[in-house]
Amino acid sequence: MMPKLGNYITGSWITGDGEGQTLFNAFNGEPITQASTRGLDFGAVLDYARQKGNPALRRMSFHERGRMLRALALHLREHLEKFYRISYLTGATRADSWIDLEGGIGNLFAYASLRRKFPDEPFCPDGEGMPLGKGGTFMGQHVLVPKEGVAIHINAFNFPVWGMLEKIAVNLLAGVPAVVKPATVTCFLTEAVVREIAASGILPDGALQLICGSAGDLLDHVASQDVVTFTGSASTGLQLKAHPAILRESTPFNMEADSLNCLVLGTDVEPGMPEWDLFIKELRKEMTVKAGQKCTAVRRIFVPENRLEDAQKALIRAIAQTTIGNPENEKVRMGPLAGQTQRLEVRAQVTKLLASSQLIYGALDNVKLLEGDADKGAFLSPLLLLNDRPFDSEEPHSIEAFGPVSTMMPYRDMEAAIELSKMGKGSLCSSIVTADARIAREYVLGAATHHGRILILNNECAKESTGHGSPLPLLVHGGPGRAGGGEEMGGIRGVKHYMQRVAVQGSPSMITALTDVYQPNARQTTGEKHPFRKYFEELQIGDTVITHRRTITEADIVNFANVSWDHFYAHTDHTSLADTLFEKPVAHGYFILSAAAGLFVDPGKGPVMLNYGVEECRFLKPVYAGSTIGVKLTCKEKIAQEKKEEKELPRGIVKWYVDVYDETGESVAIATILTMVQRSGAVGDGPSEGQT
Ligand code: NAP
């Protein structure tokens, strides 16, 4: 009997009942394994995630979760060669697999690094606090906590690894476990990766479960704290989005569906320009990488009508060079589709497209191979279509052939190109190739409503450009309308999708205690010891020094102008102040901040290692000669830092709230300054925690 894939559920590897669905080698059609989920208790799978994985993850801080992702990425990198070997069976060349495998692992690294944008807590404040009362005793602050449910990822077949990792990186950083259901046809590769993840023991129990095969009644068990993400065809997506349990529970449903992405050649670009070559190169890549089975692949090519002939010829010349065959052969640039079903599907879609377009390159039933059998393997030639009446045909804008297929269409002017781009009714991404900033601006502002991402490609950025087809972890991946309306990834935006936002109201001291971030008007603690004499661990949020005071003189203002060379009229020229906001020469804002530092700094050598910068600074009221200023310096926030090298001193960043006020008690300047502060363990035989 053929080996059967495992389902990693409720803490162990379980095979489904019966024979299951047979999965094939895309290159030669030989059966390789079977997948079955028959007999699995999907309700128990979701409960396990909620009861085991969720509490374990939500107890961890963002920083711990981020370090966990990094450990996972490093671990998976060790096993890449094994994954590459399996990936060939999906029809992917080594370059295709690189996107899937190393791109997926790259996502784990990217989200691991993103931990630094969050506090070392399981939850995070969302935005700034807002005063809600004139007396300063009542305020509001949004806070995000991890949802108590599970992220259910139903993925498409084309990126069995990236599709999983790009999604779980986000929910795991947020503190939510995942159940992954890859598309069955290529799930053997996902299974191999999850086996390594499970064996590593890096994730807590219940943080990740895998279903290889049909989703059964999985969605019947979703609840309101869960999040469902779907990647696949619009028709399946629509069916799942309307699932009664999802509607009943108001479960968030993020959908990434098929998309008629387009690339526009700017009217300024002509043969001979570097942008012309970029246009051809990008299109060739888009049509042949992963045999065109990319959700972001360019399906529609819009070319100025006077360039149509040149563009056709150049593109045909380029795609004709594509070597097709065994994905393991190093000379091969394009492998087969993922399976025979996918090939049948693409052929059927192209036949529909041919109702209004003509084939100008390739053949539906004939493909020249470097190595392989065109019948046994799911091979298909690149197919370039031409439609010369794009406003009169609906097909090229609505039928997606998920393979190496694109349709070229002429346009008259930029307004027409924008209209045509929108006829796709919402795409994941679009590109414009142009060297003209005015054309780029017109296109982006005109087409933006219908796209999730727009690449402006020209010679300046070409070398570093990640290309039309690459979703990036820190940018949203998704699109409006028929692209599903969803947004995956997007850095912090993506993480927030798995968290519940709650608006908390209360006194500044209560909000400070909740968030561990000092809020203006909260209680301040003054003591004998200057906060600059305290080690990182010793400092408490709210620790404050109230300084002595200093009267600003005319000489101070003149001297600062001389030292800084800032002779702006408002500081130096008595005669120029008529009709200005100032009555007299005003002290430089930077001087006030410097003078504040002179007041609040404790000068002796101590735990403060250096000044790290200023985050926010506002000059609220003019300070004239004769004014007397004082400062309240308050410990606002503490961020522990990880050691990058063994010999580094353990330390953290401390943010200080600086309030500079004048003789009337009104604030003249506020700022948040950052210092690097040693941890007490850093000083060998010196003071231990809590000592100076
Ligand atoms: P699909 O047939 O719609 O399947 C997508 C996923 O849905 C698979 O995991 C599939 O599982 C599952 N599924 C199907 N019926 C289900 C049901 N009743 N309940 C629960 N799950 C169900 O799409 P595909 O053929 O895998 O992928 C190709 C399509 O995906 C293309 O149209 C492409 O444009 C789109 N795509 C979009 C993106 C994007 O980010 N926008 C990315 C990649 C692909 P089974 O495999 O077990 O049927």
Q: Could you report the per-residue pLDDT of 259-278, keeping only the tens digit for each?
A: 999 999 999 999 999 999 99
pLDDT confidence tier of residue 649, bands split at 50, 70 and 90? confident
Task: Pick the atom of ligand 1 nearest to 345's CA.
Answer: 25
- Cα-to-centroid distance, 65 and ligand 1 (Å): 29
Q: Are 422 and 399 in contact (CB under 8 A)?
A: no
Per-residue confidence (pLDDT) for residue 123, from 0 to 100: 97
Dihedral angle sign, alpha carbons of residues 429, 434, 435, 439:
negative
Residues 6+ apart with CB under 8 A from 548: 599, 630
Residue 364, exposed/middle/buried by CB under 10 A (0-12, 13-18, 19+)? middle
- Cα-to-centroid distance, 262 and ligand 1 (Å): 21
Q: Using the 8-state DSSP alphabet, how is residue 540 labeled?
A: -
Residue nearest to atom 40 of ligand 1 (CA): 256
Catalytic residue flag (residue 256): yes
Q: Which two tokens stand for residue 46?
A: 């979701």
For the chain, percent of residues with pLDDT exceeding 70: 98
Task: Pick the atom of ligand 1 nearest to 154's CA.
Answer: 9
Per-residue confidence (pLDDT) for residue 682, from 0 to 100: 53
Residues 6+ apart with CB under 8 A from 504: 140, 141, 142, 143, 511, 514
Per-residue confidence (pLDDT) for residue 646, from 0 to 100: 81
Least confident span in 57-71, 475-489, 660-674: 475-489
Pocket test for ligand 1, best of 295, 341, 429 (most atoms within 8 A of CB): 295
Instruction: Select from 318, 68, 321 the least CA-distant residue to 177.
Output: 68
pLDDT > 70? residue 690: no
Task: Pick the atom of ligand 1 nearest to 215's CA.
Answer: 20
Reduced to 3 states, what is the DSSP secondary structure of residue 646? coil
Q: Show the domains of the chain with their CATH numbers.
A: 7-123+147-257 (3.40.605.10), 261-469 (3.40.309.10), 524-691 (3.10.129.10)
Residue 670: count other Cβ atoms within 10 Å of its Cβ: 17
Q: Which two tokens stand for residue 164?
A: 């999983």
HSE-CB at 518 with a 13 A cutoff on CA atoms is 27
Between CA 631 and CA 608 the distance in angstroms is 19
The single-letter code of the amino acid at 582 is F
pLDDT confidence tier of residue 2, bands split at 50, 70 and 90? confident
pLDDT > 90? residue 3: no
Pocket test for ligand 1, best of 21, 158, 162 (most atoms within 8 A of CB): 158
592-609 average pLDDT score: 97
Between CA 148 and CA 223 the distance in angstroms is 10
Residue 636: count other Cβ atoms within 10 Å of its Cβ: 24
Dihedral angle sign, alpha carbons of residues 343, 312, 286, 262:
negative
- Cα-to-centroid distance, 74 and ligand 1 (Å): 29
Residues 6+ apart with CB under 8 A from 478: 254, 256, 428, 452, 484, 485, 486, 487, 488
For the chain, percent of residues with pLDDT exceeding 90: 95
Four-point Cα dihedral 429, 433, 435, 436, nearest 10: -60
Q: Which of 262, 295, 429, 635 is catalytic?
A: 295
Q: Using the 8-state DSSP alphabet, how is residue 15 labeled?
A: P
**For the chain, what is the total number of helices (H) and then of strands (E)?**
20, 28
Reduced to 3 states, what is the DSSP secondary structure of residue 431? strand
Position of tokens 């990008």?
Answer: 282
Least confident span in 32-41, 45-54, 175-184, 483-492: 483-492
Mean pLDDT of the chain: 96
Find the DSSP H helices in 175-264.
187-200, 234-241, 244-249
Per-residue confidence (pLDDT) for residue 688, from 0 to 100: 32
- Buried b / exposed e along 470-506 (16+ C-beta atoms within 10 A): bbbbebbbbbbbbbbbbbbbbbeebbbbbbeeeeeeb
- Cα-to-centroid distance, 83 and ligand 1 (Å): 22
pLDDT > 90? residue 672: yes
Q: Are 230 and 237 in contact (CB under 8 A)?
A: yes
pLDDT > 80? residue 579: yes
Instruction: Select from 470, 325, 308, 466 the least CA-distant residue to 384.
Output: 308
Phi and psi torsions of 54, nearest 5°: -65, -50
Per-residue confidence (pLDDT) for residue 642, from 0 to 100: 83
Between CA 470 and CA 476 the distance in angstroms is 11
pLDDT in tens, 61-92: 999 999 999 999 999 999 999 999 999 999 99
Per-residue confidence (pLDDT) for residue 640, from 0 to 100: 87
Catalytic residue flag (residue 295): yes
Contacts 24+ apart (CB under 8 A), 14-20: 14/40, 16/40, 16/213, 20/213
Residue nearest to atom 16 of ligand 1 (CA): 236
Q: Are 123 and 143 in contact (CB under 8 A)?
A: yes
Q: Which two tokens stand for residue 658?
A: 């600086």
pLDDT confidence tier of residue 692, bands split at 50, 70 and 90? very low
Phi and psi torsions of 474, nearest 5°: -90, -5
Residue nearest to atom 10 of ligand 1 (CA): 183
pLDDT in tens, 303-320: 999 999 999 999 999 999
pTM over 0.85: yes
Between CA 362 and CA 403 the distance in angstroms is 13
- Cα-to-centroid distance, 239 and ligand 1 (Å): 11
Compute the radius of gyration of the chain from its Cα atoms: 30
Between CA 88 and CA 25 the distance in angstroms is 8
Q: Which two tokens stand for residue 389?
A: 């009446």
Instruction: Select from 405, 387, 430, 295 the least CA-distant residue to 346.
Output: 405
CB under 6 Å to ligand 1: residues?
Answer: 154-158, 181, 183-185, 214-215, 231-233, 236, 240, 256-259, 295, 400, 402, 428, 483-484
Four-point Cα dihedral 131, 586, 602, 528, nearest 10: -50
pLDDT in tens, 406-464: 999 999 999 999 999 999 999 999 999 999 999 999 999 999 999 999 999 999 999 99
- Cα-to-centroid distance, 102 and ligand 1 (Å): 22
How many residues does this entry show for the chain?
692
Residues 6+ apart with CB under 8 A from 523: 509, 512, 542
Per-residue confidence (pLDDT) for residue 392, from 0 to 100: 97
Run of H or E including 301: strand 300-304
